[in-house]
Structure 1
Amino acid sequence: MSDDKNSVGSPDRDRISMSEDYEVQDWTGTLGVSEERLQEAVNAVGNNADAVRAYLNK
Structure 2
Amino acid sequence: MDSENLTIYIISVLCLGAVLIMARDRVPQQLKRGMALTAVIMILLAFVLIIYNFVA
The verdict on a shared fold, with TM-score over 0.5 as the criterion, is no
Would you tell me which structure has more helix in proportion to its own residues?
2
* TM-score between both structures, scaled by the size of structure 2: 0.27
Higher relative contact order (CA 8 A, sep 6+): 2
User: Higher Cα Rg: structure 1 or 2?
Assistant: 2
